[in-house]
């Protein structure tokens, strides 16, 4: 019997990947690197600095900037990204999310957010679902990003359950790998890219029965 749910944010609760893409694309263009939607898939679930490093690697520019300059580039991208997030409302929740969270609450199942995003509290607040989560892992406290299982293990700890008693939800391959490495049951939320290793794959949370999941 499962005892708690651990959710990724971007691509599972709401679709912010499009805003990350707009902001990274503009930043990359400013330094002479072109990124496309396919490349953007690689940035899902990856931290801000790791995303910047991947973009610089694409443009063969890893050594072109000091760490202070890289911080400034990441911060510029984030300022633009946060501007784009201002328009978020509860209507931007992905289909079925609110109902799923309400049903979980009704059944007494605690929920956590395990997102690499330092903007997670701001986004949850704009979406009006902050109070639906018992735990939001602070990515600043982690030593390794996804696909390392650390963030998922910390989420389970926050919920006071064993990772093997949790169900994890992810739209990115790095996240599915992290969930499985933590020993959780993995639900893949399909967003157009193939996901390997998930225990089940759905297009939206309404495709799931909470009771069936809890019985896994
Ligand atoms: C999520 C997204 C990534 C993003 C990361 C950090 O994992 O899927 O694309 O890079 O969060 O987000 P942040 O808001 O801290 O820049
Ligand atoms: Mg995601």
pLDDT tens, position by position, 13-26: 999 999 999 999 99
| pTM for this prediction | 0.94
Q: Convert 9-38 to b/e letters by CB count within 10 Å (16 or more is b).
A: bbbbbbebbebbbebbbebbeeeebebeee
Provide the pLDDT confidence category of residue 194 given band limits of 50, 70 and 90: confident
Mean pLDDT of the chain: 96
Same domain, 81 and 167: no
Distance 116 CA to ligand 1 centre (A): 5
Specify the ligand 1 atom closest to the Cα of 119: 14
Question: Which residues are known to be catalytic?
Answer: 8, 10
Domain extent for 70? 16-86
Same domain, 151 and 77: no
183 is in an annotated binding site: no
Distance 113 CA to ligand 2 centre (A): 11
Same domain, 111 and 70: no
From 159, 160, 167, 94, select the one nearest 133 (Cα to Cα).
159
Per-residue pLDDT at 16:
93
CATH number of domain containing 184: 3.40.50.1000
152 has a pLDDT exceeding 90 = yes
Per-residue pLDDT at 66:
97
What average pLDDT does this structure show over 88-115?
97
Last residue within a domain, chosen from 59, 86, 113: 86
For ligand 1, say whether the CB of 118 is within 6 Å of any of its atoms: yes
Last residue within a domain, chosen from 62, 86, 110: 86
Q: Tens of pLDDT along 27-72?
A: 999 999 999 999 998 899 899 999 999 999 999 999 999 999 999 9
Specify the ligand 1 atom closest to the Cα of 45: 7
The Cα angle at residue 21 between residues 20 and 27, in degrees rounded to 5: 90
- Whether the CB-CB separation of 19 and 117 falls below 8 Å is answered with no
Q: How many domains are contained in the chain?
A: 2
Same domain, 205 and 142: yes
Task: Tell me if ipTM is over 0.90.
Answer: yes
């Amino acid at each position: 019997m499962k005892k708690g749910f651990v959710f990724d944010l971007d691509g599972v609760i709401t679709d912010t990947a499009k805003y990350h893409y707009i902001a990274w694309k503009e930043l990359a263009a400013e330094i002479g690197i072109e990124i496309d939607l396919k490349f953007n898939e690689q940035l899902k679930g990856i931290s801000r600095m790791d995303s910047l490093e991947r973009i610089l690697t694409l443009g063969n520019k890893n050594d072109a900037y000091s760490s202070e300059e890289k911080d400034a580039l990441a911060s510029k991208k984030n300022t633009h990204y946060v501007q784009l997030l201002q328009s978020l409302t509860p209507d931007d929740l992905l289909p079925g999310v609110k109902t799923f969270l309400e049903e979980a609450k009704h059944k007494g199942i605690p929920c956590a957010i395990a997102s690499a995003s330092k903007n997670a509290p701001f986004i949850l607040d704009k979406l009006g679902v902050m109070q639906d989560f018992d735990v939001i892992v602070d990515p600043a406290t982690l030593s390794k990003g996804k696909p390392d299982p650390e963030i998922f293990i910390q989420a389970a700890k926050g919920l006071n359950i064993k990772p093997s008693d949790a169900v994890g939800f992810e739209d990115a391959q790095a996240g599915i790998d992290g969930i499985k490495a933590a020993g959780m049951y993995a639900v893949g939320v399909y967003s157009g890219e193939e996901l390997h290793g998930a225990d089940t794959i759905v297009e939206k949370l309404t495709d799931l029965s909470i009771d069936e999941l809890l019985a896994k």
